[in-house]
Amino acid sequence: MTCVRRRAGVVSLAVVAALAFAACGSDSDSTASAGSAAPTAVATHDSSEHTTEPPTDRIDPVVFHQDMRKLWEDHITWTRLYIVSAVAGVPDLDATAGRLLQNQADIGAAVATFYGDDAGAALTDLLRQHILIAADLVAAAKAGDEAAVTTQSDLWYANAEEIAHFLADANPAWPFAAVSQMMRTHLDQTLAEATARLTQDWDADIAAYDDIHLHILTMADALADGIVQQFPERFSA
C-alpha cells in the first residue's frame, strides 16, 4: 500500500495527510525512536497491574459495544471533517482540529476505566504526541523541507508503533500483529480518502469513507470484545 512516507515529496498531500492520520498506526518499518515524545511508562505497561476496582454495577456489553463504536466513529467523522476543511481552506480548521484532539482524550478516558488512570493518561499522551509530531510534519511540508519531512515521518511512525505495542501489552486478546494490521488498514483507507478529496474525485472520496466506516466498526468491536474477555466480572451476562 502507498503510505505518506512514499509521498513525502508531494507537499500538498503531506500537509493534509499528516494531521488527518495523526491518531492512526502505520505499516512503516522505521526503527527511529520517538525520543522524549513517548512516555517512558508505556514500555513497562503490564496488563496484570490494574488498579481500578470493579464497580458494583455491571456493564451491559451491548451498551459497551455501542459506546466503543461511538468513540471510533467520532474519530473517523472528525478526521474526515478535518480533511475537508484542510483541503478547502475554510476557517473552521482549528476548531475541527481541537475536536479531533478531544477524541484522543476520550479514548484515553475509556481505557482508564479498565486499566487505571495512569494507563489512560499514557495512551492520551501517546495520541496527542501523534498529533504534535504531525504538526511538525505539516510545517516541514509547507516549507518544502524534504529532509525535515523524513525526520518527522520517522518520529511519527515510531510513535504509531508505540501505540500498537501499548494496546497489545494491555490485553492478550489484542495481539500486536492483529492490532498493527487494523491500524495499517485504517491508515491506508484514510490516505485514499484524503487523496480522492485532493484530486476532487468525489465518487472515490465517498467510496473511501464508506470503506473506512465499515472497517472502524470492525475495529471497535474487536477492541470491545477484548475488554469484555479480559474483564468478564465487569459485565452482565
Query: Measuring CA to CA, which residue among 179, 134, 20 is closest to residue 85?
Result: 20
Whole-model pTM: value is 0.71
- Measure Cα distances from 30 to 63, 126, 186 in Å: 39, 17, 19
Mapping DSSP onto H, E and C, the string for 123-167 reads: HHHHHHHHHHHHHHHHHHHHHCCHHHHHHHHHHHHHHHHHHHHHH
CA distance 146 to 140: 7
Domain residue ranges in the chain: 61-127+170-234
Please name the helix (run of DSSP H) or strand (run of DSSP E) that holds residue 42, with its range, or none: none
Q: Is pLDDT at 40 greater than 60 in this prediction? A: no
Task: For residues 57-63, give the mean pLDDT.
Answer: 93
Predicted confidence (pLDDT) per residue in 133-156, tens digit: 765 654 565 566 679 767 877 777
Question: What is the reported pLDDT for 143?
Answer: 60
Query: Measuring CA to CA, which residue among 138, 136, 223, 155 is closest to residue 186?
Result: 223
> How many contiguous H segments (helices) and E segments (strands) does the chain have?
7, 0
Least confident piece of the model among 130-134, 145-149, 184-188: 130-134
Count other Cβ atoms within 10 Å, centred on residue 236.
Answer: 11
